[in-house]
Amino acid sequence: MTLLLLNMAATTDRMVFGALAPVLSEALRLSDRQLALVTGPAFGVAYAAALPFAGWLVDRIGARRMLVGSVLVWTLGMVVSALAGMGPGVGARALPFLLLGRGITGVGQAALTPAAFALILGNAAPAHVGRGLTLFTGAGTMGRGIAFLAAGVLLGAFNGLGGVPPWSATLLTLAAGNVVFVLVGTRFVRGGVPGQPVAWSILVRWLRTAPLSVVAAVTSALGTVVIAQALSAWIAVVLVRAHMTSPAKAALLIGVVGTIASPLGHVAGGALTDSGRLGKGGIVAATLVCAPLIWAFVVAPTLPIALVTLGLVLVAAGIAGAIGLVRVQRLIPAEVRGTANGVFMTLVALLGISGGPLLVPLLSADVGLGLAATVLLAALIAAVAGLLADRGTAVVAR
């Protein structure tokens, strides 16, 4: 349960910038490309740079120590980001402070997933690996919804109070919650194995065993991450601009839909994977259906239709993401889970977390069209790679 709450908090803190994007754009006069830098690469590049080292440290010194340090560092990043809205010369230093804060948050969160995966895979029965992993990642997808809910509630609560801008107060409130969690929650983390030297030869031998399966499985999983990250970064902007809703209302509505739909898709995908009912082609179907659904969301004539199609695409993306994640994890040798996941999550950060949000304004000046194009491109890549992975030889590592 502690790991689930940690991932929920981490994803909330990471994704809250998607909910705050309309406010940041107006309050700090950020262009769409500057906003994309803040929501994507500012976090993702730092996250990617830190991940290989963080994953190696998980194998060297153990998971629990890394989890505590992770929360403390990413909380500092939230505070630095909040400072962008306070003090003299706010406009001139807002973007650098946001970029720095997001970078610190990225470094801090780098250890979370490798450490958590090592604990889950080290303690879960083989038949329940999919459920264990997707309960953890499902908590993260719930964190996306909570990020929008929290932003909607807190922006409304802090609006008009004066002094600290509402969006800065929102970030500081989330940071304060992290401090409480470090003091109370992390002591309940149990299990795992003590730190041990990393046998790099094991990692290299694994990569040589079935390279087609490994590369295809990783590529397919990365495509699903691009879909999820692009959605998280830009759906609030699309709702505000297309349906003339306030940022707070858009965040609340997305939060309600996302808190239900995203975890439902992830947990369902994990359960179906464990049961063996999906068979081959499951990830292909789940990713390809995302493209028409996101187009329906972008061109929806009314707000209710937009929210229904958004919920459907989040379920489909969650199922696809769960299938991709479980397939990769089942291929990784137990001895190098932290290190291998550090490398895998580096690719996730660079291509998914950074690339997903950044692709949207690059593909089209119209954010809605750019989002639809990004999802379509990522879905095609994930589907083709999924077919190749299905045809490869799956080597299940225990």
CATH number at residue 95: 1.20.1250.20
Q: Rounded mean pLDDT of 145-171?
A: 84
Q: Report yes or no on 75 lying in a domain.
A: yes
Q: Which amino acid is at 204?
A: V
Rounded Cα distance, 382 and 368, in Å: 21
* Segment 93-98 mean pLDDT: 84
Closest CA to 9 of 133, 108, 81: 108
Tell me the mean pLDDT in the region 233-252: 88
CA-based nearest residue to 59, from 337, 346, 344, 343: 337
SS3 content of the chain, % helix, strand, coil (to 5): 85, 0, 15
Is the Cβ–Cβ distance between 206 and 213 less than 8 Å? Answer: no
Q: Centre a 10 Å sphere on the Cβ of residue 96 and count the other Cβ atoms it contains.
A: 10
Of residues 2 and 193, the one with the higher pLDDT is 2
Are 206 and 333 in contact, with CB atoms under 8 Å apart?
Answer: yes
**Which one is predicted more confidently, 124 or 148?**
148
Q: Is the pLDDT of residue 396 over 60?
A: no
pLDDT at 279: 53
- Domain membership flag for residue 397: no
Q: What is the mean pLDDT of residues 66-88?
A: 85
- pLDDT band with cut points at 50, 70 and 90 for residue 270: confident
- pLDDT reported for residue 393: 42
State residue 364 phi and psi, 5-degree precision.
Answer: -160, 145
Q: What percent of the chain has pLDDT over 90?
A: 25
Q: Pick the more confident residue, 27 or 307.
A: 307
Amino acid at 172: L
- CA-CA distance, 314 to 312, in Å (whole number)? 5
Q: Is residue 21 part of a domain?
A: yes
In a domain, 396, yes or no: no
Say what the pLDDT of residue 146 is.
Answer: 87
pLDDT in tens, 371-387: 999 999 999 999 999 88
Question: Cβ-count burial of 272 within 10 angstroms (0-12 exposed, 13-18 middle, 19+ buried)?
Answer: buried
- Look up residue 371 and give its two tokens: 């989002």
The C-alpha atoms of residue 303 and residue 290 are separated, in whole angstroms, by: 19
Q: Is 246 exposed, middle or buried (0-12, 13-18, 19+ CB in 10 A)?
A: middle
Average pLDDT score, the chain: 82
| Residue 63 to residue 59: CA distance in whole angstroms | 8
Task: Please give the pLDDT value at position 200.
Answer: 62
pLDDT over threshold 70, residue 398: no
Mean pLDDT of the 304-324 span: 92
DSSP letter for each residue of 64-117:
HHHHHHHHHHHHHHHHHHHGGGSSTTHHHHHHHHHHHHHHHHHHHHTTHHHHHH
Domain extent for 387: 2-391
Mean pLDDT of 223-252: 89
How many angstroms separate the CA atoms of 375 and 381, rounded? 10
pLDDT value at 357 more than 70: yes
> Which single residue is written with the structure tokens 């705050």?
20
Residue with tokens 């996101």: 294
Most confidently predicted of 203-207, 278-282, 283-287: 283-287
Q: What value does the mean pLDDT take over residues 114-126?
A: 74
Lowest mean pLDDT among 125-134, 267-276, 318-327: 125-134
Q: What digits encode the pLDDT tens for the residues 343-352?
A: 888 888 788 8
Say whether pLDDT at 192 is over 60.
no
CA nearest neighbour of 286 among 323, 233, 327, 330: 323
pLDDT, residue 79, reads 94
Cα distance between residue 108 and residue 72, in whole Å: 7
Question: CA-based Rg of the chain, rounded to a whole angstrom?
Answer: 20
Looking at the predicted structure, is the pLDDT value of residue 209 above 70?
yes
Q: What pLDDT, on the 0 to 100 scale, is given for residue 6?
A: 87
Confidence at residue 4, expressed as pLDDT on a 0 to 100 scale: 84
Residue 398: inside a domain: no
The number of distinct structural domains making up the chain is: 1
In the prediction, which pLDDT does 208 show? 74
Helix locations, 111-198, DSSP H: 112-123, 129-158, 166-184
| Nearest CA-CA partner of 213 in 332, 397, 398, 390 | 390
Crossing angle between the packed helical segments 41-61 and 337-347, to the nearest 10 degrees? 170
